Amino acid sequence: MEVNKIYETKILRYNNEGLGVGIIDNIVTFINNALIDEIVKVRISKIYKNYATGDLIEIIEKSSNRKTLKCPYFYECGGCNIMHIDYEKQLEFKKEKIASIFKKICGIDIKLKEVNSYNNLGYRNKVVFKVKNDKIGFYKPKTNQIVDIRECIISDKKINDCLLNLRTFIKKYNDNKISEIMVRVCDNNVMLSLDKINEKYKDKFIEEFNYINSIYINDKLVFGMPSLNQRLNNLVFNISPKSFFQVNPKATENLYNRVLEYANKSDISVDLYSGTGTITMLLSKKAKKVVGVEVVKEAVEDAKNNLKLNNIDNVEFICGKVEDKIEKLKNLNVDVLVLDPPRGGSDKKSLKSILEISPEKIIYISCNPVTLARDINLLKDKYELSDISAFDMFPQTYHVECVCLLNRR
């Protein structure tokens, strides 16, 4: 095999990131935008110790599962990665991916019925656009070059309406100094948060976007409401610019319902990595007392406001890192413990403490099956993986959200 040389190969499967896998000269080769069963021509881009990567040059035999693209930016933009695959096949890919990760990392054969799916376009409620002079969009993968986009079809219509006006503004005021704009939609209200702006355009920006419900510049509220309300699972959540909130509200609502089904009634529940306290508050319906732990101060403040907003009085929030605060929880008699860490998963110290706390049930929510399986591997001697559910929180991308129910053996 040689770099830059063109080879022909058949795509046998996908890797975890949805890249087509072919074997060329006995070397496993990952090929972007290639579908299973297709015969393709590939230009080798890099050869590593155990594998190679290649770019798709020509499709010799096309799969019937290849879709006509609705997004003109797909091949350039780094946002979506499997939009070229028929949506039903995307779900199949995610189901098989989860099963193979669990088999490989934990040696567990999981029984996953389906990947629950709701809306595969227009679902995203939050987007961070990159800006440079008069360009606005997303970075090309592995570069800081902006793909100038007019519409992002996986995002909420309100985000796209806003994008059109933002685009007009930055074209008109080319020396605007903005480098990043977050647009968030909660229950049809819109929040904008810019990292910076040329002082001479600040008032103009506020004037042109005075139909927006909340505008922040450089972390300071300059117009409208400090936070937005989002209704979900019969609760109201108050969300400020820095708070984490799931990006797909419909899938989230269903995921949270599954967490509640798994949780049952309890005396003391714990919600680790609690964000704005969404799951904590849901658990409060089924527990006498719930404790949430979250590192971001603003999210904890939102969470405390959310308690008042929903008249909940059996919840306590601890602000700090789980690994630092988990000791405190050992004195409680915790029966249900929920954890929903970021992509990197939890850490060994926290997982060891969870084993010492020894709750009857652990409910582990994760957007990364690899770190989920890695962490469950450390719990599996004491806990049985009783059920797993998957939710297509991020359609058109290779990502998938899982919820696992672990019962103490």
Site for ligand SAM in 347-406 (CB under 6 A): none
| Nearest residue to ligand SAM on Cβ basis | 275
Choose the catalytic residue: 106, 367, 402, 404. Answer: 367
Give the three-state DSSP class for 373: helix
CB of 213 to ligand SAM, least distance (A): 21
Taking the least distance from each CB to ligand SAM, the nearer of 116 and 160 is 116
How many other β-carbons are positioned within 10 Å of the β-carbon of residue 33?
Answer: 20
Q: Should residue 345 be labelled a site residue for ligand SAM when binding is judged by CB under 6 A? A: no
Q: Give Cα separations from 276 to 162, 224, 345 (angstroms).
A: 25, 21, 18
Q: How far is CA 133 from the centre of its chain?
A: 29
CB of 337 to ligand SAM, least distance (A): 13
Task: Number of residues interacting with ligand SAM: please give it, by CB under 6 A.
Answer: 19
Site for ligand SAM in 213-252 (CB under 6 A): 244-246
Site for ligand SAM in 301-340 (CB under 6 A): 321-323, 340
Taking the least distance from each CB to ligand SAM, the nearer of 194 and 295 is 295
162 as an active site residue: the answer is no
Question: Do 101 and 16 meet the contact criterion of CB atoms below 8 Å apart?
Answer: yes
Query: Near ligand SAM by CB under 6 A, which window of 7-15, 37-45, 59-67, 291-299?
Result: 291-299
How many residues does the structure list for the chain? Answer: 409
Dist CA 51 CA 381 (whole Å): 34
- DSSP letter, residue 207: H
Place of tokens 């193979």: 100
Q: How far is CA 30 from the centre of its chain?
A: 24
- DSSP letter, residue 326: G
Q: Should residue 262 be labelled a site residue for ligand SAM when binding is judged by CB under 6 A? A: no
Query: Near ligand SAM by CB under 6 A, which window of 104-112, 186-194, 267-275, 308-316?
Result: 267-275
Give the three-state DSSP class for 404: strand
DSSP letters for 105-149: HH--------EE---SSS-BSEEEEEEETTEEEEEPTTS-PEEE-
CB of 323 to ligand SAM, least distance (A): 6
Number of H helices and E strands in the chain, helices first, is: 9, 23
CB of 103 to ligand SAM, least distance (A): 25
CB of 12 to ligand SAM, least distance (A): 33
Taking the least distance from each CB to ligand SAM, the nearer of 183 and 322 is 322
- Using CB under 6 A, list all residues that contact ligand SAM: 244-246, 273-275, 278-279, 293-296, 299, 321-323, 340-342
Give the residue numbers marked as catalytic.
367
